[in-house]
Amino acid sequence: MNYGSWLRAAEVGQVAAVTLLHGAEPFLIDEAIARITRALIPEAAELVMSRDVLEAREAGAEGIVRAAQTFPWGAARRVVIARGVEALGPKQAEPLVEYLGQPNPTTALLLAVPQVLASSHWLLKAVPAASVIDVPRLSGRSLIGWLRAHAASEGLELAEDAAQLLVTLVGEEPAALAAELGKAALAGGADNRRIGVAQIQAVVGEHRSREIFELTRAVELRDPGSALPLLDRLLSAGEEPLRILAILAGQARRATPAASRLARCWKVERRLKLGGLARPELCLLVADLCAD
């Protein structure tokens, strides 16, 4: 079952006793878990007794199994969220593998793995194929659809043109999009539940938005003479370096060849997160993308 179909079924309570969620978008995995938890345990007061969140390195396979074998209290089903199970070796995982063969039907065990698993990994052999959900990287129409569905889950109505503008300005990183969406909702006033282009522009800032668009256009045209001064102005105005990088990465996904350009963006992202200096790193990246 693909991610979208599975999530729609899960939100109406159709959740298997075991589900493995794996993929390179941690935010989407966490969001899916939150939405499933709300569907299975709608009363916040019941969360304490009916939900466990465990780290495999601390609880071990035995601790995860004990939590999953516990019967629900108050809610119809328990939710057990286990993280880090992919790091367990086959020997360490034996109690969990045994449980996966005959799970407790009153528990929804959610195995959250924020990476794409190799086909040889023991988890893909232990979890039934129908319960393995590959959480994809979203782009294009699928990203717009997800963003509008995410807004709806928060009680907001996001216009399609506003969603498109938000992706253009912020990039394709789901966590960043969700954060800016929350700001846009507040921009419309406490009682406003509709988000249009005006609210997006109010949050991002029309002038800065135009410069970001001009930067991506200059990179697309391979024009470093225009791109580098634009980048300098954005950084000087306080634009978040990782946000600029996310926008460039989103553009790289749509470029040809995409793989090599994306790889350069990811390398810069790693260096920035390790303390690299934003201005030289981004200037070198923009010059490199323009020269490609």
Residues 181-208 pLDDT 10s: 888 888 777 777 889 988 887 777 655 7
CATH of the domain at 59: 3.40.50.300
Q: How many domains does the chain have?
A: 3
Choose the final residue of a domain: 204, 233, 254.
Answer: 204
**Does one domain contain both 222 and 245?**
yes
Residue pair 10/33 in contact by the 8 Å Cβ criterion: no
What is the per-residue pLDDT for 4? 82
**Does one domain contain both 211 and 200?**
no
DSSP state of 129: G
Helix-strand-coil split of the chain, %, nearest 5: 60, 10, 30
Choose the final residue of a domain: 161, 180, 204.
Answer: 204
What lies within 8 Å, CB to CB, of 171 at 6+ separation is 177, 243, 245, 246, 247, 248, 249, 250
**Does one domain contain both 80 and 15?**
yes
What is the per-residue pLDDT for 29? 94
**Does one domain contain both 179 and 212?**
no
CA–CA gap between residue 194 and residue 55 (Å, rounded): 38
Residues 201-238 pLDDT 10s: 777 765 577 788 889 889 989 999 999 988 887 887 67
CA dist 30 → 59, 117, 153, 208 (Å): 20, 17, 14, 31
**Does one domain contain both 58 and 117?**
yes
**Does one domain contain both 230 and 279?**
yes
The residue to which tokens 């599975």 are assigned: 6
Tokens of 18: 């075991």
CATH of the domain at 220: 1.20.272.10
**Does one domain contain both 155 and 235?**
no
CA–CA gap between residue 165 and residue 195 (Å, rounded): 11
The residue to which tokens 């601390």 are assigned: 58
CA–CA gap between residue 109 and residue 105 (Å, rounded): 9
What is the per-residue pLDDT for 256? 65
**Does one domain contain both 189 and 227?**
no
Q: How many CB atoms lie within 10 A of CB 138?
A: 20
Choose the final residue of a domain: 94, 119, 134.
Answer: 134
CATH of the domain at 145: 1.10.8.60
What is the per-residue pLDDT for 44? 82
Low-confidence ranges of the chain (pLDDT < 70): 205-207, 237, 256-257
**Does one domain contain both 177 and 273?**
no
The closest of 90, 139, 135, 143 to 116, measured between CA atoms, is 135
What lies within 8 Å, CB to CB, of 83 at 6+ separation is 53, 54, 55, 56, 112
**Does one domain contain both 48 and 106?**
yes
Query: Which residue range is the domain that position 113 belongs to?
Result: 3-134
**Does one domain contain both 198 and 214?**
no
Residue 43's identity, in one-letter code, is E
What is the per-residue pLDDT for 207? 53
**Does one domain contain both 126 and 70?**
yes
